Structure 1
Protein backbone atom coordinates (compact mmCIF):
# COMPACT_ATOMS: atom_id res chain seq x y z
CA UNK A 1 0.00 0.00 0.00
CA UNK A 2 2.82 2.38 0.87
CA UNK A 3 4.60 1.62 -2.40
CA UNK A 4 1.45 2.45 -4.38
CA UNK A 5 1.14 5.75 -2.49
CA UNK A 6 4.73 6.68 -3.36
CA UNK A 7 4.19 5.82 -7.03
CA UNK A 8 1.03 7.93 -7.08
CA UNK A 9 2.83 10.97 -5.65
CA UNK A 10 5.66 10.52 -8.14
CA UNK A 11 3.20 10.33 -11.03
CA UNK A 12 1.36 13.42 -9.78
CA UNK A 13 4.65 15.33 -9.56
CA UNK A 14 5.49 14.28 -13.12
CA UNK A 15 2.10 15.44 -14.37
CA UNK A 16 2.57 18.76 -12.56
CA UNK A 17 5.88 19.20 -14.37
CA UNK A 18 4.31 18.43 -17.76
CA UNK A 19 1.45 20.86 -17.18
CA UNK A 20 3.79 23.68 -16.15
CA UNK A 21 5.88 22.98 -19.24
CA UNK A 22 2.75 23.35 -21.40
CA UNK A 23 2.30 19.66 -22.22
CA UNK A 24 -1.41 18.89 -22.01
CA UNK A 25 -1.83 16.02 -24.47
CA UNK A 26 0.00 13.01 -25.87
CA UNK A 27 1.40 13.09 -29.41
CA UNK A 28 0.26 10.66 -32.04
CA UNK A 29 1.81 9.54 -35.30
CA UNK A 30 1.22 12.92 -37.00
CA UNK A 31 3.76 15.57 -36.10
CA UNK A 32 3.17 19.32 -35.92
CA UNK A 33 5.92 21.83 -36.73
CA UNK A 34 5.03 24.42 -34.09
CA UNK A 35 7.86 26.74 -35.19
CA UNK A 36 6.40 26.85 -38.71
CA UNK A 37 2.91 27.32 -37.29
CA UNK A 38 4.19 30.30 -35.26
CA UNK A 39 5.70 31.83 -38.40
CA UNK A 40 2.44 31.41 -40.30
CA UNK A 41 0.44 33.04 -37.49
CA UNK A 42 2.89 35.95 -37.30
CA UNK A 43 2.62 36.45 -41.08
CA UNK A 44 -1.18 36.53 -40.87
CA UNK A 45 -1.04 39.12 -38.09
CA UNK A 46 1.24 41.32 -40.22
CA UNK A 47 -1.36 41.13 -43.01
CA UNK A 48 -4.04 42.25 -40.59
CA UNK A 49 -5.71 38.84 -40.48
CA UNK A 50 -6.66 37.02 -37.31
CA UNK A 51 -5.00 33.57 -37.28
CA UNK A 52 -7.11 30.56 -36.52
CA UNK A 53 -6.56 28.94 -33.11
CA UNK A 54 -3.81 26.35 -33.16
CA UNK A 55 -5.12 22.87 -33.71
CA UNK A 56 -5.03 20.44 -30.86
CA UNK A 57 -2.28 17.88 -30.93
CA UNK A 58 -3.44 14.96 -33.09
CA UNK A 59 -4.50 11.84 -31.34
CA UNK A 60 -2.77 8.56 -32.02
CA UNK A 61 -4.17 5.72 -34.10
CA UNK A 62 -7.43 4.25 -32.91
CA UNK A 63 -6.71 1.15 -30.86
CA UNK A 64 -10.24 0.38 -29.86
CA UNK A 65 -13.09 2.07 -28.07
CA UNK A 66 -12.44 4.70 -25.41
CA UNK A 67 -13.93 2.43 -22.77
CA UNK A 68 -11.64 -0.42 -23.79
CA UNK A 69 -8.57 1.80 -23.74
CA UNK A 70 -9.46 3.21 -20.32
CA UNK A 71 -9.96 -0.31 -18.98
CA UNK A 72 -6.57 -1.46 -20.22
CA UNK A 73 -4.80 1.59 -18.77
CA UNK A 74 -6.50 1.32 -15.41
CA UNK A 75 -5.11 -2.19 -14.95
CA UNK A 76 -1.59 -0.84 -14.75
CA UNK A 77 -1.75 2.79 -13.62
CA UNK A 78 -2.47 3.86 -10.03
CA UNK A 79 -5.39 6.25 -9.52
CA UNK A 80 -4.39 9.85 -10.20
CA UNK A 81 -6.23 12.96 -9.09
CA UNK A 82 -7.37 15.39 -11.78
CA UNK A 83 -4.99 18.34 -12.05
CA UNK A 84 -6.41 21.46 -13.71
CA UNK A 85 -4.36 23.07 -16.43
CA UNK A 86 -2.36 26.05 -15.20
CA UNK A 87 -3.21 29.40 -16.77
CA UNK A 88 -0.51 30.97 -18.90
CA UNK A 89 0.94 34.24 -17.68
CA UNK A 90 -0.69 37.42 -18.99
CA UNK A 91 2.42 38.23 -21.03
CA UNK A 92 1.69 35.18 -23.20
CA UNK A 93 -0.30 37.42 -25.54
CA UNK A 94 2.98 37.75 -27.40
CA UNK A 95 3.76 34.95 -29.86
CA UNK A 96 6.66 32.67 -29.00
CA UNK A 97 9.96 33.58 -30.64
CA UNK A 98 12.60 31.34 -32.15
CA UNK A 99 15.95 31.99 -30.45
CA UNK A 100 18.56 33.00 -33.01
CA UNK A 101 21.51 35.35 -33.45
CA UNK A 102 19.19 38.25 -34.24
CA UNK A 103 17.44 37.89 -30.88
CA UNK A 104 20.77 37.62 -29.03
CA UNK A 105 21.99 40.71 -30.86
CA UNK A 106 18.83 42.59 -29.89
CA UNK A 107 19.39 41.61 -26.24
CA UNK A 108 22.96 42.93 -26.37
CA UNK A 109 21.85 46.21 -27.90
CA UNK A 110 19.03 46.70 -25.40
CA UNK A 111 21.21 45.89 -22.38
CA UNK A 112 23.88 48.33 -23.54
CA UNK A 113 21.37 51.19 -23.48
CA UNK A 114 20.76 50.82 -19.73
CA UNK A 115 22.55 53.57 -17.81
CA UNK A 116 21.22 52.50 -14.41
CA UNK A 117 19.88 49.37 -12.75
CA UNK A 118 16.37 50.81 -12.96
CA UNK A 119 16.87 51.27 -16.71
CA UNK A 120 18.05 47.67 -16.99
CA UNK A 121 15.02 46.39 -15.13
CA UNK A 122 12.75 48.37 -17.45
CA UNK A 123 14.59 46.91 -20.45
CA UNK A 124 13.98 43.38 -19.20
CA UNK A 125 10.32 44.09 -18.51
CA UNK A 126 9.91 45.31 -22.10
CA UNK A 127 12.02 42.56 -23.69
CA UNK A 128 10.00 39.81 -25.41
CA UNK A 129 12.89 37.86 -26.91
CA UNK A 130 12.99 35.11 -24.26
CA UNK A 131 10.12 32.62 -24.23
CA UNK A 132 10.57 31.98 -20.50
CA UNK A 133 8.77 35.28 -19.97
CA UNK A 134 5.61 33.68 -21.40
CA UNK A 135 5.31 31.14 -18.59
CA UNK A 136 6.89 32.97 -15.65
CA UNK A 137 4.70 34.83 -13.19
CA UNK A 138 7.18 37.61 -12.39
CA UNK A 139 10.49 39.02 -13.46
CA UNK A 140 13.09 38.09 -10.83
CA UNK A 141 15.55 40.94 -11.19
CA UNK A 142 17.61 41.28 -8.00
CA UNK A 143 17.64 41.69 -4.23
CA UNK A 144 19.97 43.28 -1.73
CA UNK A 145 22.10 46.41 -1.83
CA UNK A 146 23.20 47.62 -5.29
CA UNK A 147 26.02 49.59 -3.63
CA UNK A 148 27.44 46.50 -1.90
CA UNK A 149 30.99 45.35 -2.55
CA UNK A 150 29.83 41.72 -2.74
CA UNK A 151 27.61 40.30 -5.50
CA UNK A 152 26.16 36.78 -5.87
CA UNK A 153 24.99 35.34 -9.19
CA UNK A 154 22.95 32.13 -9.48
CA UNK A 155 21.54 30.38 -12.52
CA UNK A 156 17.75 30.88 -12.53
CA UNK A 157 14.86 31.47 -10.11
CA UNK A 158 12.67 28.72 -8.71
CA UNK A 159 9.05 28.47 -7.64
CA UNK A 160 9.24 30.68 -4.54
CA UNK A 161 11.28 33.29 -6.37
CA UNK A 162 8.77 33.31 -9.23
CA UNK A 163 5.93 34.04 -6.78
CA UNK A 164 7.76 36.82 -4.91
CA UNK A 165 9.83 38.33 -7.72
CA UNK A 166 13.06 38.15 -5.69
CA UNK A 167 16.03 35.79 -6.02
CA UNK A 168 16.89 33.24 -3.33
CA UNK A 169 13.86 33.55 -1.06
CA UNK A 170 13.00 29.84 -0.68
CA UNK A 171 14.83 27.23 1.36
CA UNK A 172 18.05 27.79 -0.58
CA UNK A 173 17.72 31.52 0.09
CA UNK A 174 17.31 30.91 3.80
CA UNK A 175 20.48 28.85 3.77
CA UNK A 176 22.30 31.60 1.88
CA UNK A 177 21.17 34.10 4.53
CA UNK A 178 22.55 31.83 7.25
CA UNK A 179 25.87 31.53 5.42
CA UNK A 180 26.09 35.31 5.15
CA UNK A 181 25.30 35.70 8.83
CA UNK A 182 28.08 33.25 9.67
CA UNK A 183 30.66 35.63 8.19
CA UNK A 184 29.09 38.75 9.70
CA UNK A 185 27.08 39.88 6.67
CA UNK A 186 23.45 40.00 5.54
CA UNK A 187 21.45 40.95 2.44
CA UNK A 188 22.11 44.62 3.05
CA UNK A 189 25.81 43.78 2.58
CA UNK A 190 25.35 41.98 -0.74
CA UNK A 191 23.60 42.19 -4.11
CA UNK A 192 21.97 39.02 -5.47
CA UNK A 193 20.87 38.19 -9.02
CA UNK A 194 20.59 35.32 -11.53
CA UNK A 195 21.83 34.78 -15.06
CA UNK A 196 18.26 34.02 -16.19
CA UNK A 197 15.66 36.34 -14.59
CA UNK A 198 12.58 34.21 -15.40
CA UNK A 199 11.72 30.82 -13.93
CA UNK A 200 11.94 27.94 -16.41
CA UNK A 201 8.76 25.80 -16.36
CA UNK A 202 8.95 22.98 -13.82
CA UNK A 203 12.31 24.34 -12.56
CA UNK A 204 14.03 22.72 -15.52
CA UNK A 205 17.54 23.79 -16.52
CA UNK A 206 17.57 26.79 -18.88
CA UNK A 207 18.49 25.85 -22.43
CA UNK A 208 21.78 27.17 -23.87
CA UNK A 209 19.73 29.45 -26.15
CA UNK A 210 17.77 30.90 -23.21
CA UNK A 211 20.98 31.46 -21.27
CA UNK A 212 22.67 33.14 -24.23
CA UNK A 213 19.72 35.50 -24.72
CA UNK A 214 19.74 36.54 -21.05
CA UNK A 215 23.53 36.74 -20.75
CA UNK A 216 23.92 40.38 -21.95
CA UNK A 217 21.54 41.57 -19.23
CA UNK A 218 23.41 39.94 -16.33
CA UNK A 219 26.71 41.15 -17.79
CA UNK A 220 25.37 44.70 -17.83
CA UNK A 221 23.98 44.21 -14.32
CA UNK A 222 27.44 43.27 -13.05
CA UNK A 223 28.94 46.30 -14.83
CA UNK A 224 26.45 48.64 -13.17
CA UNK A 225 26.90 47.17 -9.69
CA UNK A 226 30.69 46.95 -10.19
CA UNK A 227 31.37 44.88 -7.03
CA UNK A 228 34.78 44.17 -5.55
CA UNK A 229 33.99 40.46 -5.11
CA UNK A 230 31.78 38.36 -7.39
CA UNK A 231 30.53 34.97 -6.19
CA UNK A 232 29.04 32.41 -8.57
CA UNK A 233 26.54 30.13 -6.85
CA UNK A 234 26.98 26.86 -8.74
CA UNK A 235 28.91 25.93 -11.86
CA UNK A 236 26.26 27.09 -14.35
CA UNK A 237 26.62 30.82 -13.70
CA UNK A 238 30.43 30.57 -13.59
CA UNK A 239 30.56 28.69 -16.89
CA UNK A 240 28.24 31.21 -18.52
CA UNK A 241 30.07 34.34 -17.39
CA UNK A 242 33.68 33.15 -17.13
CA UNK A 243 33.69 30.74 -20.04
CA UNK A 244 35.28 27.99 -17.94
CA UNK A 245 34.42 24.33 -18.44
CA UNK A 246 35.52 22.82 -15.13
CA UNK A 247 32.93 21.20 -12.87
CA UNK A 248 32.05 22.83 -9.59
CA UNK A 249 34.13 20.37 -7.55
CA UNK A 250 37.26 21.39 -9.40
CA UNK A 251 36.32 25.04 -9.74
CA UNK A 252 35.08 25.95 -6.27
CA UNK A 253 37.37 27.76 -3.84
CA UNK A 254 39.68 29.00 -6.61
CA UNK A 255 39.97 32.74 -7.09
CA UNK A 256 39.61 33.97 -10.66
CA UNK A 257 39.25 37.30 -12.45
CA UNK A 258 36.13 38.75 -14.03
CA UNK A 259 36.53 41.76 -16.35
CA UNK A 260 34.57 44.52 -14.65
CA UNK A 261 33.91 48.18 -15.28
CA UNK A 262 37.48 49.49 -15.48
CA UNK A 263 38.88 46.86 -13.15
CA UNK A 264 39.39 43.14 -12.69
CA UNK A 265 36.83 41.80 -10.22
CA UNK A 266 37.91 39.03 -7.85
CA UNK A 267 35.59 36.09 -8.61
CA UNK A 268 35.03 32.75 -6.95
CA UNK A 269 32.58 29.87 -7.43
CA UNK A 270 31.02 27.88 -4.61
CA UNK A 271 28.28 25.30 -4.23
CA UNK A 272 24.74 26.43 -4.90
CA UNK A 273 22.67 26.46 -1.66
CA UNK A 274 20.11 24.14 -3.28
CA UNK A 275 22.88 21.56 -3.77
CA UNK A 276 23.94 21.95 -0.13
CA UNK A 277 20.39 21.16 0.97
CA UNK A 278 20.68 17.84 -0.88
CA UNK A 279 24.30 17.22 0.14
CA UNK A 280 24.78 18.73 3.63
CA UNK A 281 28.23 17.17 4.05
CA UNK A 282 29.55 19.61 1.43
CA UNK A 283 28.70 22.57 3.69
CA UNK A 284 32.16 22.32 5.21
CA UNK A 285 33.69 23.20 1.82
CA UNK A 286 31.28 26.09 1.31
CA UNK A 287 32.22 27.33 4.77
CA UNK A 288 35.84 27.48 3.65
CA UNK A 289 34.77 29.41 0.55
CA UNK A 290 32.82 31.94 2.60
CA UNK A 291 35.74 32.42 4.97
CA UNK A 292 37.88 33.10 1.91
CA UNK A 293 35.27 35.59 0.67
CA UNK A 294 35.34 37.43 3.99
CA UNK A 295 39.13 37.55 3.90
CA UNK A 296 39.10 38.90 0.35
CA UNK A 297 36.64 41.65 1.29
CA UNK A 298 38.78 42.58 4.27
CA UNK A 299 42.01 42.72 2.32
CA UNK A 300 40.69 44.92 -0.50
Structure 2
Protein backbone atom coordinates (compact mmCIF):
# COMPACT_ATOMS: atom_id res chain seq x y z
CA UNK A 1 0.00 0.00 0.00
CA UNK A 2 1.33 3.39 -0.95
CA UNK A 3 1.87 5.76 1.90
CA UNK A 4 0.07 9.10 1.89
CA UNK A 5 2.03 12.22 1.02
CA UNK A 6 3.39 14.07 3.94
CA UNK A 7 2.64 17.76 4.34
CA UNK A 8 5.94 19.08 3.05
CA UNK A 9 5.89 16.88 -0.06
CA UNK A 10 2.31 17.83 -0.89
CA UNK A 11 3.15 21.52 -0.38
CA UNK A 12 6.15 21.25 -2.67
CA UNK A 13 4.08 19.58 -5.39
CA UNK A 14 1.40 22.29 -5.12
CA UNK A 15 3.95 25.08 -5.39
CA UNK A 16 5.47 23.36 -8.42
CA UNK A 17 2.05 23.28 -10.16
CA UNK A 18 1.49 26.94 -9.33
CA UNK A 19 4.86 27.77 -10.87
CA UNK A 20 3.76 25.97 -14.02
CA UNK A 21 0.67 28.22 -14.26
CA UNK A 22 -2.07 26.18 -12.66
CA UNK A 23 -4.62 28.49 -11.05
CA UNK A 24 -7.45 26.23 -9.92
CA UNK A 25 -8.26 22.56 -9.45
CA UNK A 26 -11.27 21.43 -11.44
CA UNK A 27 -11.13 17.61 -11.60
CA UNK A 28 -9.91 14.86 -9.36
CA UNK A 29 -7.68 13.57 -12.16
CA UNK A 30 -5.63 15.45 -14.77
CA UNK A 31 -7.01 15.77 -18.33
CA UNK A 32 -4.79 15.74 -21.41
CA UNK A 33 -6.20 18.63 -23.44
CA UNK A 34 -4.27 17.46 -26.52
CA UNK A 35 -6.22 14.23 -26.52
CA UNK A 36 -9.55 15.04 -28.20
CA UNK A 37 -11.03 11.76 -27.17
CA UNK A 38 -10.43 12.58 -23.52
CA UNK A 39 -12.69 15.60 -23.63
CA UNK A 40 -16.08 15.13 -22.10
CA UNK A 41 -18.98 15.46 -24.52
CA UNK A 42 -21.28 18.40 -24.05
CA UNK A 43 -24.16 17.56 -21.75
CA UNK A 44 -27.43 16.79 -23.48
CA UNK A 45 -30.13 19.35 -22.86
CA UNK A 46 -33.56 18.09 -23.80
CA UNK A 47 -35.35 20.43 -26.20
CA UNK A 48 -39.00 21.41 -26.22
CA UNK A 49 -39.95 18.22 -28.03
CA UNK A 50 -38.32 15.95 -25.42
CA UNK A 51 -39.76 17.93 -22.54
CA UNK A 52 -43.28 18.03 -23.91
CA UNK A 53 -43.19 14.50 -25.16
CA UNK A 54 -44.30 15.55 -28.63
CA UNK A 55 -43.87 18.24 -31.27
CA UNK A 56 -42.82 21.58 -29.82
CA UNK A 57 -45.56 24.19 -29.93
CA UNK A 58 -44.58 27.51 -31.54
CA UNK A 59 -44.20 30.54 -29.31
CA UNK A 60 -47.34 32.70 -29.35
CA UNK A 61 -47.03 35.77 -31.55
CA UNK A 62 -46.97 39.17 -29.89
CA UNK A 63 -50.38 40.87 -30.07
CA UNK A 64 -50.89 43.57 -32.68
CA UNK A 65 -51.52 46.75 -30.63
CA UNK A 66 -53.55 48.45 -33.36
CA UNK A 67 -55.73 45.41 -34.01
CA UNK A 68 -56.34 44.92 -30.29
CA UNK A 69 -57.18 48.60 -29.83
CA UNK A 70 -59.61 48.40 -32.72
CA UNK A 71 -61.42 45.41 -31.20
CA UNK A 72 -61.61 46.98 -27.74
CA UNK A 73 -62.82 50.33 -29.06
CA UNK A 74 -65.45 48.80 -31.30
CA UNK A 75 -66.83 46.77 -28.39
CA UNK A 76 -67.36 49.84 -26.17
CA UNK A 77 -71.09 50.72 -26.12
CA UNK A 78 -70.67 54.12 -24.46
CA UNK A 79 -68.08 56.67 -23.32
CA UNK A 80 -67.72 55.13 -19.88
CA UNK A 81 -66.94 51.71 -21.32
CA UNK A 82 -64.56 53.24 -23.85
CA UNK A 83 -62.65 55.09 -21.12
CA UNK A 84 -62.35 51.87 -19.13
CA UNK A 85 -61.16 49.88 -22.15
CA UNK A 86 -58.57 52.48 -23.08
CA UNK A 87 -57.34 52.86 -19.51
CA UNK A 88 -56.84 49.08 -19.28
CA UNK A 89 -54.91 48.96 -22.56
CA UNK A 90 -51.39 47.86 -21.58
CA UNK A 91 -49.53 47.81 -24.91
CA UNK A 92 -48.68 51.53 -24.94
CA UNK A 93 -45.42 52.18 -23.10
CA UNK A 94 -46.53 55.73 -22.21
CA UNK A 95 -48.91 54.26 -19.65
CA UNK A 96 -45.99 53.02 -17.53
CA UNK A 97 -44.50 56.48 -17.06
CA UNK A 98 -47.65 58.57 -16.76
CA UNK A 99 -49.22 59.56 -13.48
CA UNK A 100 -52.80 59.86 -14.76
CA UNK A 101 -55.06 58.60 -17.50
CA UNK A 102 -56.50 61.70 -19.17
CA UNK A 103 -59.67 60.88 -21.09
CA UNK A 104 -61.82 63.97 -21.62
CA UNK A 105 -63.42 67.06 -20.11
CA UNK A 106 -66.46 69.15 -20.84
CA UNK A 107 -69.93 68.09 -21.88
CA UNK A 108 -70.50 64.91 -23.93
CA UNK A 109 -73.00 65.64 -26.66
CA UNK A 110 -71.70 69.18 -27.16
CA UNK A 111 -71.82 70.53 -30.69
CA UNK A 112 -68.07 71.15 -30.69
CA UNK A 113 -65.36 68.62 -29.84
CA UNK A 114 -61.74 69.74 -29.53
CA UNK A 115 -58.84 67.34 -29.99
CA UNK A 116 -55.34 68.24 -28.85
CA UNK A 117 -52.09 66.31 -28.82
CA UNK A 118 -51.41 64.79 -25.40
CA UNK A 119 -51.48 65.68 -21.70
CA UNK A 120 -48.75 67.92 -20.34
CA UNK A 121 -47.44 68.14 -16.80
CA UNK A 122 -50.48 69.89 -15.34
CA UNK A 123 -52.88 67.59 -17.17
CA UNK A 124 -50.97 64.54 -15.96
CA UNK A 125 -51.20 65.77 -12.37
CA UNK A 126 -54.91 66.63 -12.51
CA UNK A 127 -56.16 63.94 -14.89
CA UNK A 128 -57.97 66.45 -17.14
CA UNK A 129 -57.06 67.81 -20.57
CA UNK A 130 -56.13 71.44 -21.17
CA UNK A 131 -55.80 72.67 -17.58
CA UNK A 132 -52.36 74.30 -17.68
CA UNK A 133 -51.52 77.71 -19.12
CA UNK A 134 -52.52 76.55 -22.59
CA UNK A 135 -55.83 75.28 -21.21
CA UNK A 136 -56.51 78.55 -19.47
CA UNK A 137 -55.90 80.39 -22.73
CA UNK A 138 -58.23 77.97 -24.50
CA UNK A 139 -60.99 78.72 -22.00
CA UNK A 140 -60.61 82.46 -22.69
CA UNK A 141 -60.66 81.85 -26.43
CA UNK A 142 -63.85 79.83 -26.18
CA UNK A 143 -65.49 82.37 -23.89
CA UNK A 144 -64.84 85.07 -26.50
CA UNK A 145 -67.32 83.33 -28.83
CA UNK A 146 -69.77 82.28 -26.14
CA UNK A 147 -68.55 78.70 -25.55
CA UNK A 148 -67.44 76.96 -22.35
CA UNK A 149 -66.47 73.44 -21.42
CA UNK A 150 -68.67 73.56 -18.31
CA UNK A 151 -71.76 74.95 -20.04
CA UNK A 152 -74.81 72.72 -19.44
CA UNK A 153 -76.39 73.81 -22.73
CA UNK A 154 -75.06 71.65 -25.60
CA UNK A 155 -75.27 74.65 -27.92
CA UNK A 156 -72.70 76.49 -25.78
CA UNK A 157 -70.78 73.53 -24.44
CA UNK A 158 -67.48 72.10 -25.62
CA UNK A 159 -66.13 68.58 -25.25
CA UNK A 160 -62.33 68.25 -25.06
CA UNK A 161 -59.92 65.36 -25.45
CA UNK A 162 -56.49 64.46 -26.89
CA UNK A 163 -55.05 62.00 -29.35
CA UNK A 164 -53.04 60.39 -26.53
CA UNK A 165 -54.42 59.86 -23.01
CA UNK A 166 -51.00 59.54 -21.34
CA UNK A 167 -48.27 62.14 -21.09
CA UNK A 168 -45.15 61.45 -23.20
CA UNK A 169 -41.88 61.81 -21.25
CA UNK A 170 -40.70 65.41 -21.08
CA UNK A 171 -43.68 66.38 -23.26
CA UNK A 172 -41.91 64.99 -26.32
CA UNK A 173 -43.73 64.69 -29.64
CA UNK A 174 -45.79 61.48 -29.81
CA UNK A 175 -44.33 58.69 -31.92
CA UNK A 176 -46.16 57.36 -34.95
CA UNK A 177 -46.62 53.93 -33.32
CA UNK A 178 -48.19 55.53 -30.23
CA UNK A 179 -50.61 57.53 -32.35
CA UNK A 180 -51.50 54.48 -34.44
CA UNK A 181 -52.48 52.35 -31.46
CA UNK A 182 -54.55 55.14 -29.89
CA UNK A 183 -56.31 56.17 -33.09
CA UNK A 184 -59.05 53.47 -32.91
CA UNK A 185 -59.96 54.78 -29.45
CA UNK A 186 -60.03 58.35 -30.76
CA UNK A 187 -62.27 57.43 -33.68
CA UNK A 188 -64.68 55.59 -31.40
CA UNK A 189 -64.53 58.49 -28.94
CA UNK A 190 -65.67 60.91 -31.63
CA UNK A 191 -68.38 58.51 -32.77
CA UNK A 192 -69.82 58.14 -29.26
CA UNK A 193 -69.48 61.84 -28.34
CA UNK A 194 -71.24 62.68 -31.63
CA UNK A 195 -70.17 66.33 -32.07
CA UNK A 196 -71.31 68.36 -35.05
CA UNK A 197 -67.87 69.92 -35.52
CA UNK A 198 -64.32 68.80 -34.78
CA UNK A 199 -61.60 71.31 -33.95
CA UNK A 200 -58.09 69.90 -34.34
CA UNK A 201 -55.53 71.91 -32.40
CA UNK A 202 -51.97 71.51 -33.55
CA UNK A 203 -50.02 69.26 -35.88
CA UNK A 204 -50.48 65.95 -34.08
CA UNK A 205 -54.30 65.69 -34.32
CA UNK A 206 -54.18 67.03 -37.87
CA UNK A 207 -51.61 64.42 -38.82
CA UNK A 208 -53.60 61.66 -37.12
CA UNK A 209 -56.98 62.43 -38.70
CA UNK A 210 -56.12 64.41 -41.85
CA UNK A 211 -52.73 62.95 -42.75
CA UNK A 212 -51.25 66.47 -42.85
CA UNK A 213 -49.22 68.34 -40.26
CA UNK A 214 -48.59 71.70 -41.91
CA UNK A 215 -50.76 73.57 -39.41
CA UNK A 216 -49.51 76.99 -40.52
CA UNK A 217 -50.88 76.33 -44.01
CA UNK A 218 -54.06 74.40 -43.24
CA UNK A 219 -55.32 76.30 -40.18
CA UNK A 220 -58.59 78.10 -40.73
CA UNK A 221 -59.47 75.96 -43.76
CA UNK A 222 -62.54 73.80 -43.32
CA UNK A 223 -62.14 70.17 -44.25
CA UNK A 224 -63.71 66.86 -43.23
CA UNK A 225 -62.76 63.81 -41.17
CA UNK A 226 -64.73 60.97 -39.59
CA UNK A 227 -67.79 62.22 -41.45
CA UNK A 228 -67.76 65.64 -39.77
CA UNK A 229 -66.66 69.18 -40.59
CA UNK A 230 -63.16 69.83 -39.26
CA UNK A 231 -61.46 73.12 -38.47
CA UNK A 232 -57.67 72.98 -37.92
CA UNK A 233 -56.37 75.61 -35.49
CA UNK A 234 -53.15 76.55 -33.73
CA UNK A 235 -52.65 74.86 -30.38
CA UNK A 236 -52.93 77.34 -27.47
CA UNK A 237 -49.42 76.33 -26.37
CA UNK A 238 -48.14 77.62 -29.72
CA UNK A 239 -50.03 80.87 -29.23
CA UNK A 240 -48.30 81.36 -25.87
CA UNK A 241 -44.92 80.99 -27.62
CA UNK A 242 -45.96 82.98 -30.68
CA UNK A 243 -48.29 85.84 -29.66
CA UNK A 244 -48.36 87.26 -33.19
CA UNK A 245 -50.32 84.17 -34.28
CA UNK A 246 -53.26 85.15 -32.04
CA UNK A 247 -54.68 87.24 -34.89
CA UNK A 248 -55.06 84.08 -36.99
CA UNK A 249 -56.51 82.21 -34.02
CA UNK A 250 -59.13 84.91 -33.56
CA UNK A 251 -60.10 84.65 -37.23
CA UNK A 252 -60.48 80.89 -36.81
CA UNK A 253 -62.68 81.36 -33.75
CA UNK A 254 -64.94 83.70 -35.69
CA UNK A 255 -65.15 81.10 -38.48
CA UNK A 256 -66.19 78.49 -35.90
CA UNK A 257 -68.80 80.83 -34.44
CA UNK A 258 -70.21 81.55 -37.90
CA UNK A 259 -70.41 77.85 -38.73
CA UNK A 260 -72.31 77.14 -35.53
CA UNK A 261 -74.80 79.87 -36.31
CA UNK A 262 -75.36 78.50 -39.79
CA UNK A 263 -76.27 75.00 -38.63
Please indicate the TM-score interval, normalised by the length of the shorter structure: 0.7 to 0.9
- Kindly indicate whether residue 253 of structure 2 is the aligned counterpart of residue 290 of structure 1: yes
How big is each residue's C-alpha offset from its partner over 1:228-281, in whole Å with a ceiling of 9 and x where there is no partner? 1100001210110122x251111100000122xxxx311010000000000011
Distance across 2 between alignment mates of 1:219 and 1:233? 16
Q: 1:207 aligns with which of 149, 154, 175?
A: 175
1:124 Cα deviation from its structure 2 partner: 1.2
Pick aligned residue for 1:255 from 191, 209, 222: 222
| 1:176, distance to aligned residue in structure 2 (A) | 0.1
Aligned-residue Cα RMSD (Å) equals 1.1
Residue of structure 1 in register with 2:122 after alignment: 160
Matched with 1:281 is: 244
The answer on whether the counterparts of 1:139 and 1:165 sit within 8 Å (CA) in structure 2 is yes
User: Per-residue deviation at 1:208?
Assistant: 0.7
> CA deviation digits over 1:46-99, x for unaligned, max 9?
xxxxxxxxxxxxxxxxxxxxxxxxxxxxxxxxxxxxxxxxxxxxxxxxxxxxxx
Deviation at 1:125?
A: 1.7
Partner of 1:299: 262
The residue aligned with 1:240 is: 208
In structure 1, distance between residues paired with 2:178 and 2:213: 21
- The alignment covers a number of residue pairs equal to 196
CA distance in 2, matches of 1:105, 1:198: 20
Paired residue for 2:36? none
Confirm or deny that 1:179 pairs with 2:179: no
Structure 1: segments with no counterpart, 5+ residues: 1-99
Match of 2:95 in 1: 133
**Is 2:183 the partner of 1:220?**
no
SS at match of 2:200: strand
What is the TM-score with the length of structure 1 in the denominator? 0.64
1:153-207 CA-to-partner distances (Å, cap 9, x unmatched) read 0011100000000000000000000000100111131000000000001111111
The answer to whether residue 56 in structure 2 is matched with residue 104 in structure 1 is no
In 1, the alpha carbon distance for the partners of 2:130 and 2:261 equals 25
Larger-gyration structure (1/2): 2
2:206 and 2:213 in contact (8 A); partners too: no
Unmatched segments (≥5 aa) in structure 2: 1-61, 152-156
> Which of structure 1's runs of 4+ aligned residues deviate more than 2 A?
none
Q: TM-score, normalised by structure 2?
A: 0.73
1:135–1:286 distance in 2 versus 1, CA, 3 Å: same
Q: Tell me how far apart the structure 1 counterparts of residues 166 and 131 of structure 2 sit (CA, whole Å).
A: 14
Residue 101 of structure 1 and its aligned partner are, at CA, apart by: 7.4
1:113 aligns with one of 54, 75, 86: 75
Equivalent-residue separation in structure 2 for 1:238 and 1:158 (angstroms): 18
- Structure 1 residue aligned with 2:11: none
Distance 1:161 1:151 in 2: 18
Whether the 8 Å contact between 1:107 and 1:129 is mirrored in structure 2 is no
